[in-house]
Amino acid sequence: MAGRKVQKRGSYQKRKGQRRERMRQRLFMVGSLVLLLFLISLLSGEEKPFFGIFGDWTVGADRVPGEGSGSACEGELVVTYLDVGQADCTVLQCGEHAMMIDGGGRSTSEEVVSAVKSLGITKFDYIVATHSHEDHIGGLGAVLDAFAAETVIFRQEENDSKIYGQFQDAVKRNGAQVIVPKPGLSLTFGDAAIRILAPDDSVFKEANNCSVALMVTFGEKKFLFTGDAEEESEEQMLMLGLPLEADVFQAGHHGSQTSNTQAFAEAADPVYVVVSCGEGNEYGHPHSEVIARFEELDAQIYRTDTMGTVTVRTDGSSLSITTQRK
C-alpha cells in the first residue's frame, strides 16, 4: 500500500513538474511575444510604443479622439449659421452642450431667441462675443436675459457705445463667468475642443482686429471662426503658428476683402466657406475677390444672404450641409 502511495505521490510530483514546465514555456512564449511587439512598435516609430499598435482596438472604429479634450467623440456636432442679415450669429450644439458665437444685431434679437429655443437649447456652456460692434453683440443682451450661460468669452474694449454698455450689463445680470480670450487657450465643449487663436493681447486697438478667433474641433473635423478680424490680425495669427487649417471657415468680416488674405485663406484651406451677410448690403459683402480666392482653393461657398440659415452636421469623420433656401 505504502509503495503504491509513494508511486502515486511520485507520479503526482512528476505531473506537477511537467505542468510547471509547460507554464514556464507558456510564460516564456508570452514574454517573447510582448518583447517582439514592443520592438516592432519601437522600430515603426510609434509615439506610444506598444500601446500604439492597439490603437484601433482601444479607440474603436466609430470613435475618433477629439483634439484637446483627449476623449473620444460621440454623436454629432451641429453648427447653425443663422441668417441674421448683415450680421453674425452662429449656434453650436454638441450633445447636451450649446454655444453661441455672436448674437446678430439688435433688430433680429427676438428671432435669435426663438431660433435658439426651437433648436431645443435651454442653456449655454459658452457665449462668445467676438468684438463690440452692434452686428455681433446687438442680439446678445436678449440671449443673455433669456438663457442661463456658464461662461461668456469676450475681451474688454474701449467702447462707450450704448449697445456695448447694454451687453456688459446683460453679462452681469446673467451671472456668467467671464473668460478673457488668449491665443492658445484650450477649452472643452462636450466631446468637442475649442482653441482660441486671437486676439493677441492689446496688439490692436481697432475693434475688428480685436475679434476673438477660435477653432472648434470635433473628431477629425474643424470649424474656424475669426469674427471681423482683418488683415493685421490674420497676419498675427499666422505669425503665432497655431493650426489654422479647417474644414469649414466662416469667411472673415462677412467676406470683406479687408480680411481673408491670400496667405490666411491658404493656411485655412477650407473645404466649405460660409459667408454671413445681408442681401444687397451697403458694403458689397462678400467681395467678389474673396469669393474667387476661395473658389481657386476649391472651396464650396455657402451664403446666408441667398441661401438663408446654413446648417453643418458632423459625426467627426464626415460632414453634411443643409440650407434653408436653394
Task: Please give the residue ranges that form the binding site for Zn ion (CB under 5 A).
Answer: 135, 228
Q: What are the grid coordinates assigned to 161, written together? A: 457705445
Residues 318 and 309 sit within 8 Å (Cβ to Cβ):
no
Is 228 or 247 the residue whose CB approaches Zn ion more closely? 228
Compute the least distance from the CB of residue 301 to Zn ion, in Å. Answer: 18
Paired with 224 in beta bridges are: 215, 249
The nearest distance, CB 256 to Zn ion, in angstroms, is: 9
Q: Pick between residue 96 and residue 279 the one whose CB is nearest to Zn ion.
A: 279
- Residue 83 or 228: which CB sits closer to Zn ion? 228
Q: For residues 252 and 264, what is the distance between their CA atoms, to the nearest angstrom?
A: 10
Identify which of residues 92 and 137 has a Cβ nearer to Zn ion in the complex: 137
Residue 313 to residues 33, 80, 222, 317, Cα–Cα distance (Å): 44, 9, 12, 10
CB of 198 or CB of 319, closer to Zn ion: 198
Question: How many angstroms separate the CA atoms of 25 and 268, rounded?
Answer: 57
User: Minimum CB separation from Zn ion for residue 85, in Å?
Assistant: 11
C-alpha span between 138 and 135 (Å, rounded): 6
Q: How far is the CB of 275 from Zn ion (least distance, A)?
A: 12
State in angstroms the smallest separation of the CB of 114 from Zn ion. 22
At residue 188, the 3 state secondary structure works out as: strand
Measured from the CB atom, the residue of 135 and 305 that comes closer to Zn ion is: 135
Q: Which residue, 135 or 231, is less far from Zn ion as judged by CB?
A: 135
Q: Nearest distance from residue 50's CB to Zn ion, in Å?
A: 51
Residue in 97, 123, 121 with CA at minimum distance from that of residue 191 = 97
How far, in Å, CA of 135 to CA of 277, rounded? 10
DSSP state of 224: E
The residue type found at 308 is G
**Residue located via cell numbers 480685436:** 210
Shortest distance (Å) from residue 155 CB to Zn ion: 16
Q: Strand 148-153 and strand 123-128: pairing?
A: parallel
